[in-house]
């Protein structure tokens, strides 16, 4: 498993807007999309390509085209905030969904919805903005593997060290692309310093 922290001025700029408690839902969504675009760019490294012949206005040349099918799987609900970035950048994308709620007492994941396309031979991008305890993401990845997913990358905005460690233990074959690994978790299992509840801030349900 590889852990890639996307550290560049553009990502850092918009991540700071996401973190700010003063960002309203519209500002938050806009900044989140820009961070997601940066993360998807990084996650796309290694996608299979074919060489193609291209005619420019001046002459023929050789170009490249992404040839590998891609499946994007947002973990509901906050993962929905990242799907536009995938669809904007990548061709040949199918979309699946895994709905997982965290029991606030036991902190265990509870599945309430799953719909996945055929993933044979495809790159699977699992979209989970907040990798806190890692329980929901680890569960979602296990279900994806049950349905045939093999080449899997998790795309997260912010992770905790505990969440990264759990994913490394349970899914050592899964790569992680993240904008920041933050300090720790608080007593409610929120990432600190974090950005609060991603889903609530995305959809204005704070």
**How long, in residues, is the chain?**
206
What is the distance between the alpha carbons of residues 122 and 142, in angstroms, rounded to a whole number? 16
**In this structure, what DSSP letter does residue 80 have?**
G
**Is 106 tagged catalytic?**
yes
- Residue 62 designated active-site: no
Rounded CA separation 88/40 (Å): 10
Active site residue 197: yes
- 90 - beta bridge partners? none
Q: What is the CA radius of gyration of the chain?
A: 17
What string of DSSP letters covers 86-136? Answer: HHHH-SSEEE-EEEEEE-TTT--EEEEEEE----TT-EEEEE-SEESSSHH
Strand segments (E) across the chain: 3-5, 49-55, 60-66, 70-76, 93-95, 97-102, 109-115, 123-127, 130-131, 151-159, 175-181, 184-185, 191-192
Q: Determine which one of 19, 102, 143, 147 is catalytic.
A: 102
CA 195 to chain centre: 16
The set of catalytic residues is 102, 106, 197, 200
């Amino acid at each position: 498993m590889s852990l890639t922290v996307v550290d560049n001025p553009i990502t850092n700029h918009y991540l700071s807007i996401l973190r700010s408690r003063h960002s309203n839902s519209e500002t938050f969504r806009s900044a989140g999309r820009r961070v997601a675009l940066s993360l998807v760019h990084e996650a796309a490294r290694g996608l299979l390509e074919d060489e193609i012949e291209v005619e420019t206005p001046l002459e023929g040349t050789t170009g490249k085209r992404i040839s590998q099918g891609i499946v994007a799987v947002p973990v509901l609900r906050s993962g929905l905030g990242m799907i536009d970035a995938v669809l904007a950048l990548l061709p040949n994308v199918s979309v699946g969904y895994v709905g997982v709620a965290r029991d606030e007492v036991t902190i265990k994941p509870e599945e309430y919805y799953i719909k996945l396309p055929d993933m044979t031979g495809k790159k699977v991008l699992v979209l989970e903005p907040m990798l806190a305890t890692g329980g929901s993401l680890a569960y979602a990845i296990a279900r994806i593997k049950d349905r045939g997913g093999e080449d899997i990358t998790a795309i997260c905005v912010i992770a905790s060290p505990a969440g990264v460690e759990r994913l490394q233990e349970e899914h050592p074959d899964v790569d992680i692309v993240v904008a920041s690994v933050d300090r720790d978790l608080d007593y409610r299992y929120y990432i600190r310093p974090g950005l609060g509840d991603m889903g609530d801030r995305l959809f204005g349900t704070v």
